[in-house]
Structures are given as structure tokens and as C-alpha cells.
Amino acid sequence: MSEPQPAPTQRPKRSARGVFTSALLTFEICVVLFAALVAFGLREPGTSAGPIWAVAGGGALLCLIAAGLVRKPIGLVVGSLVQVLLIVSGIVVPSMYVVGGVFAVLWAVALVLGGRIDRERAERAALEDKLRA
């Protein structure tokens, strides 16, 4: 007779909400940089481009920090702040009202659906543990 094989060790599954929100924030880094290029092209001749790149760099850094923190509640708060700031950037680049709005909707979907997937995974794991016992 063969001995029973030990169950393979599984690494814990990543949170679906964390994956969705961090991916969205990572994409937003590109959006922030492209918006900076548009703002750079729209600036008045002879004006400094330094503030544009400083704000864009700060926004991209904020997206990166939020993407790293989404496993914690503060990361979701910072990510939500990023969505608001993206919409507000429409003051400088009017098309950002639309782009920011689309990303805000995607953010809400990532939060809701990711949370639902995480809850369903937990329920399934609890049921499987109950059935094994």
C-alpha cells in the first residue's frame, strides 16, 4: 500500500479587490503622465513647465504609493483620493473630467466586485473546510 501524500502547500490567494485596485492605480500612472504631456502642450508659450511636471510626478507617485497600500484600508482611502484628484485635474485639461470619471467608475467597480469575489472565496473555503471535517 502506498502512503497518503501530504496535501500540497498552497500559498494564500491574493485578494481580488487588492489585485483589481492595484492594477487600476498602476494604469492611472500612465494616464497622469499622458495628461501632463497634454497640459505641457496646452501651456502658454514662455511659461515654465516645472509646475506641470512637479504635479504630474506627485500624482504618479501618489498612484504608486496607493497601489502598494491597497491591502490596508488606508490604501483604499488614498486610492479614492487619487480618483477625486484625477477628476479635479479637468480644471487644467478638460478631457480629464471624462477620463477621471471613467476611472472613478472603474474604481467603484473594482471595490465592489473585488469585495464580492473575496467574500465568495471565503464562504467557499469555509464550506470546503466544513465538508472535509
Global pTM value:
0.83
The pLDDT score that the predictor gives to residue 17 is 94
- Band the pLDDT of 79: cuts 50, 70, 90: very high
What is the distance of C-alpha 50 from the center of its chain?
27
State how far the Cα of 25 lies from the Cα of 28, in Å rounded to an integer: 5
CB burial of 74-99 (b: ≥16 within 10 Å; e: otherwise) equals ebbebbbebbebbbebbeebeebeeb
What the block records as the C-alpha cell of 117 is 469575489
Query: Is the pLDDT assigned to residue 6 strictly greater than 60?
Result: no
Taking the CB of residue 28, how many other CB atoms lie within 10 A of it? 27
Q: Taking each helix axis as running N to C, give the angle between helix 96-132 and helix 73-88, from 0 to 180 degrees, rounded to the nearest 10.
A: 160
Convert the pLDDT of each residue in 18-73 to its tens digit: 999 999 999 999 999 999 999 998 888 888 888 889 999 999 999 999 999 999 99
Query: Is the pLDDT assigned to residue 119 strictly greater than 60?
Result: yes
State how far the Cα of 8 lies from the Cα of 10, in Å rounded to an integer: 6
Residue that is written with C-alpha cell 491574493 in the block: 14
